[in-house]
Each structure stands twice: as C-alpha cells, then as structure tokens.
Structure 1
Amino acid sequence: MTDKKIVDARADNGAGTPASSQEVSWWAVHQFVSALVHQVKNATLPWAGTPAWRDLDDDDPRKLIALAVAGEHWALRVEIGQERRAQAAEDVWAGADWSAESQKMLRRRGIDEIRKAS
C-alpha cells in the first residue's frame, strides 16, 4: 500500500479525527478481527513488529492481520481503562458529601479575599 493510499483512506473515513463518541468497544473489534484471522486458517501469525513479522512480504495478508490482532489488544486495554475510569468517577461521586465540600470551598475563597484585601 502506498503512502498516498494511506493518506486518502484517512481522508475518506475520518481516521485521526475525533468522532462524536470516542468510546471503544472491544467486542466489535474482536468480531471483525476474528473474521480476518479465519481467512488465514492455520497459517502462522507472528506478533506485529517482531523479526518474523518484519520478514513477511508486504503483500502477505498475515502482515496486516497481525496488525489487526495487535489493534484488538489495544482496543481491549482502552475499553478496560474506560470502564475503570467510569467506576472510579461513580465511586468518587457516591463517596463524597458534595454539600460540605462546596461549603469548604466557599469558606476558603472568603478567607483568600480577606487576605488579599489586607
């Protein structure tokens, strides 16, 4: 694949630009990658970036499929991170007395204003 084709593909599908939602779904990626892996059946699929992967001909479909498998791993890591951040936010929200926190902030601002005035 030439560099021009890569640039054109990005322009066509908006790759590299934020979409309205950046939520990553590992399952959707897994289903797509599973179909790709099935195409090479019992062929050896090296890890992307390894010497065995680099030695594959650039036209060998296993080279791109190995990248897709690596992308699936990335998608899983991102989805897990999203879930953990959402859970942490819920834990913080549920565990704090936000009314008391608001009162503390107002008192601190009042004290800061008195200090600045003196």
Structure 2
Amino acid sequence: MTKDTGDARLSTGAGAPASREVSWWAAHEFLEAALAQANCGPLPTAGTPAWSALADGDPRKLLALAVAGEHHVLRVEIGQQCRAEAAEDVWGGADWSEVARQVKRRREIDEMRRGAA
C-alpha cells in the first residue's frame, strides 16, 4: 500500500507526476500477492448480486473491486501503447514540411476567396 503523505495529487493523478505511464504487470503482481495472502477463495465479480450480498466489512468485497480495477489498469496500458504506436506511425509517415506548405497554401486561397466575395 502507499504511504499517506497528505498530498492529494499523489492519489488522484493531479499535478505533474514524474511519469503517467501505467504498468498492468506491476498491478497484477501486487494484486496476485495480496489475494494469495488473503487466502479467501473465489471472489464474486464486483457489482453482481453475489458481490452486493457480501457484508461491507467482508474483505472479499474490496478484493473483488481490486480485481475489477486491474482490468481498468490493463485498458489504460493498452491505450498508452496504441497512442504511442499511432504517434510513431504519424510522425514517420509524412513529410511534415510539405504538409505545412499545403496548409499554408489552403489558408492563402481561403483568404483570397473571402477577399473576393
């Protein structure tokens, strides 16, 4: 678990942290160890009636939420990878000087058309 430093930015993601990179594997390993230590058996899926029926103090209720949160971490990591790959494809796939010239030409033509109207 994390130490409470009194700085809300650490837990909410606000501000400018050193890195916003998300690692599903690190989260998975941590959760796997926590589940092994809890030794609580099968968990109901978070949000289901079986999960709702657990007492609020039942550790399985919180652990089930953590398992569901692991899925979110995986989705964030995959999204990061996809954005990085797309950025590389865009950057490597165009002559940006030519793109800038084309944009400038289009703007000049648009200005000429507006002036003529």
In structure 2, what is the Cα distance between the partners aligned to 1:101 and 1:37?
A: 53
Runs of 5+ in structure 2 lacking a partner? none
Worse-superposed segment, 33-42 or 58-67: 33-42
TM-score, scaled to structure 1: 0.81
Percent identity between the two aligned chains: 57
Shift of 1:103: 1.0
Change (3 A) 1:12 1:99: closer
Q: CA deviation at 1:39?
A: 2.2
SS in 2 for 1:43: coil
2:12 aligned with 1:16, yes or no? yes
For 1:72 and 1:85, the matched residues in 2 are separated by 20
Count, aligned residues: 109
Unmatched runs of 5 consecutive residues or more in structure 1:
1-8
Aligned-residue RMSD, C-alpha: 1.9
1:70 paired residue number: 68
In 2, distance between residues paired with 1:77 and 1:108? 39
- Report the alpha carbon displacement of residue 17 of structure 1 after superposing the two structures with TM: 4.4
Q: Match for residue 40 of structure 1?
A: 38
Cα-to-partner distance string for 1:1-54 (whole Å, 9 max, x where unaligned):
xxxxxxxx8x75433342424322112211221122112325121111111111
